[in-house]
Amino acid sequence: MDWKPHITVATIVEDNGRFLMVEELKHGRVVLNQPAGHLDPNETLTEAAVRETLEETGWDVEATGVLGIYLYTAPSNGVTYQRVCFIAKALKHNPEYQLDDGIVGAKWLTREELMTQRDNWRSELIIRCIDDYLAGLRFGLELIRPSL
C-alpha cells in the first residue's frame, strides 16, 4: 500500500463574528471551505497559508497564531490530509485580484449562516476549526519551526 498524506494549510479569518470563506468548485458543485491549499516546495507553512488566502479570496492577511493541526481522511477518496490551521487578521482586500481556477468567490459568513449550508461544506473540518477558534484555542506562531 502506498500511503502518502497531503500537507495542507488553512486560515481562519474572523471579523465581527463573520468568517472569511471560499466558494469553490469540487466535482461539479460549489462547496464552502476556509481559504486552504497545499504546501508548495520551498515555502514555510505560514507563507503557504498567507499565499493561499490571497489566491483564493483576494485578501492580504497577516498570520497571528496557530489554531491547530488536524488529521482528516476524506471519505470520498480515502486521501489523508494533515491540515495546519492558522489564525489570521485581514489587512487589505484586492478586489481586482485574479482568483485561482475553480474558485467562485469569497464571502463572509457567521457560524449560524454556515450551519444552514451544511450540505455545501467541503468537509467537517470547516466547523471543527471555527468551533476551536470560538473556544479560544490559540498557539503562537513559534509553534511552527522552520527547516534548518
Express each pLDDT in 39-70 by its tens digit.
999 999 999 999 999 999 999 999 999 999 99
User: Count of domains in the chain?
Assistant: 1
- Whether 118 is in a domain gets the answer yes
Express each pLDDT in 73-107 by its tens digit.
888 888 888 999 999 999 999 999 999 999 999 99
Between CA 100 and CA 56 the distance in angstroms is 6
Q: Measure Cα distances from 73 to 34, 69, 82, 126, 133 in Å.
A: 17, 14, 9, 14, 21
Strands 80-93, 6-15: pairing kind:
parallel
Domain CATH for 105: 3.90.79.10
- Whether 148 is in a domain gets the answer no
Band of residue 108 on the pLDDT scale cut at 50, 70, 90: very high
Question: By residue range, what is the domain housing residue 136?
Answer: 6-143
pTM of the predicted protein model: 0.93
- Whether 46 is in a domain gets the answer yes
- Whether 117 is in a domain gets the answer yes
β partners of residue 38: 8
Strands 36-38, 29-33: pairing kind:
unpaired
- Whether 1 is in a domain gets the answer no
Q: How far is CA 19 from the centre of its chain?
A: 11
- Whether 39 is in a domain gets the answer yes
- Whether 132 is in a domain gets the answer yes
Q: What is the pLDDT of residue 147?
A: 72
Residue pair 13/106 in contact by the 8 Å Cβ criterion:
no
Q: What is the pLDDT of residue 146?
A: 76
